[in-house]
A and B are shown apart, each in its own frame.
Chain A
Amino acid sequence: MKFYLVPILATAIPLFANAYIQFMVNLMLVYVLVTVGFNLVLGNLGQLAFANTALFGIGAYAAAMLMAHAGWPFWAVIVPAGLAGAAAGFLASVSALRGIRVYYLAIITLAFGELLRWLYIHGERATGGTDGLAVPQSSFFGVALDSETARFYVFLVIVTLVVKGISNLMHSRIGRAIVAIRDNELATASLAIPTGRTIVLAFVLSGFVVGVGGAMFALLIGRVIPESFGLIELILHFAMVLVGGFGSLLGSVLGAVALTALPEYFRGFPGLYEMFFGALVIVFLLVQPRGLSALVAHWWPALRDRYYREG
């Protein structure tokens, strides 16, 4: 129940925030899902993967297409966006069932991610090509989602539910199976854990979470374009996971909150974005490779990541 403390306290944020700050907070919520999802594969499974922006994009495009072409309201597109991400996660990792691992698997995710982006660009009528799709105003069970505050509450509920679900999964035999593969795949198989299937499961879960984030992103920004989901955006995802802490749920939240607002400052200076986040990754690898969550766990051991539930 301690888990719900943060979201409950967070409901007070709109009292103190103006529209711009509220927008930033909403964007942070989007990136919490992006980072939680990516961390599942990168941190918990320990598998290098490059498909995260593609998964983010497929959720965003699925949501945008359903809202723009089929007129669906926002609440209805959340799960389909997640499922689209999950399906993409499955396709990106399915070769793991045949024994593909480590670098080969990483390279396939790279190829797959870029392939998806090519589809967005050449999807013409469906995806709007390089100009992208405009996302229409939407509502949530009758409540208009035209203010940042309204979006905030909806996003807060979604993120709380999704993160709780992932937390439940990670604090169980499923979570243990995933991290076991990271630490020693041979030994994992010797305990009757199907490693190929577990790897795919991690990617599918990751895809779902990031896909839902994509749907939120589509609504928030109001437009989906292929460029938002390419390799340039990817370094931000890597940085959030690394800065927050590999394999840590708390870390994912910290990383997202810490870095979301930064890209805004680099808008006017081409190249600064890539240089900054690239350098940030390098610095953290040299100085604090276990991320902010390790620092937090150092001072408050109770917050250390566990993979079981006692009570």
Chain B
Amino acid sequence: MRARLELEQVSVQFAGLRALSDVSLSARGGEVKALIGPNGAGKTTLFNAISGYVPLARGAIRLDGEPIHGITPHEIAARGVRRTFQNGGLFGELTALENILAGLHARIDAGFAGILFGTRSARAAERAAVIRARALLELLGASHLAERQVKLLSGGQQRIVEIVRAVACDPPLLLLDEPAVGLAPPVRAQLVELIRRLAGEMGIAVLLIEHAVDLVMAVADVVAVFNGGVKIAEGPPSAIRADPVVLEAYLGHA
């Protein structure tokens, strides 16, 4: 599988602190790559760099060969990068259906004038989007959540909706920032299944930040380990598990 995302020697700096140093990484379609490491190792910074919220001090980031560093977050998203957020990125006041419709924004073929005057094509585009959004919810067995305001949903339900919203447009790349935090085991199992389907069935290149080792072992094809802003190891889960360098970095961590 060709690499969809390439990071070449990426460095990021915050007020004199090196958050990331010379990080090279790639993400392939259909593959789940987990990023693990202690807190402050630079994992979320990496996501922020890819999605354009943080500038690069050095290096390059390419999506399907095209550079995406230095452009605005929404332009990067327009190229096909999607992500979820650690503290929840849902639109709280809106319903699950409306959130997913927001995720379909780029796909809805209705211009300003068409919407304003209620032309047939604009209304058709909207109808199609609603149908697709409902279908996505149905696929996840979450149809009953459609009309509920997301701020009233449970943590697990919110996570699922946020992920569905992110993939509604069939993006080539998905960044998941600690999706399993605070979830009960049965919901985690659901999450693992969902992530595997996204990679396997939809062919999305998935990068995943996660602390729960068991989850990582269950869902990842490749694991990359970070410490102090540097990638210290990368390989299949079984190899990483036994790697002495990794074990040392994790000494004292669960």
Contacts and interface: CB of A to CB of B under 8 A. Distances in A.
A contacts B: CB pair < 8 Å:
yes
Contact of A174 (B53, B82, B106, B115): B115
Interface in A174-219: 174, 176-177, 179-180, 182-184, 186-195
Nearest to B80: A192
B51 A190 contact: yes
B51 A180 contact: no
Interface stretch (A62-70, A253-261, A301-309): A301-309
A169 B118 CA distance: 9
Interface of B: 51, 53, 72-75, 77-78, 81-83, 85, 89-94, 97-98, 101-106, 108, 110, 112, 115-118, 122-123, 126-127, 129-130, 165-166, 169
A309 B97 CA distance: 11
Contacts, number: 115
Interface of A: 165, 168-169, 171-174, 176-177, 179-180, 182-184, 186-195, 247, 306-311
A152 B94 CA distance: 36
A307 B91 CA distance: 12
A251 B221 CA distance: 52
Given A173-B110, A187-B90, A308 B77 contact: no
Contact of A308 (B78, B83, B101): B101
Contacts of A171: 126
Contacts of A172: 108, 110, 115, 122, 126
B103 A191 contact: yes
A190 B110 contact: no
A189 B74 CA distance: 5
B93 A183 contact: yes
24 contacts: A165-B116, A168-B118, A172-B126, A173-B102, A173-B108, A173-B115, A173-B129, A179-B91, A183-B90, A183-B93, A187-B85, A187-B89, A187-B91, A188-B74, A189-B73, A190-B74, A190-B89, A190-B166, A192-B74, A192-B78, A308-B129, A309-B130, A310-B127, A310-B130
A166 B83 CA distance: 31
- 8 A-B pairs closest in CB distance: A187-B89, A183-B91, A192-B77, A192-B78, A189-B73, A189-B74, A192-B106, A172-B115
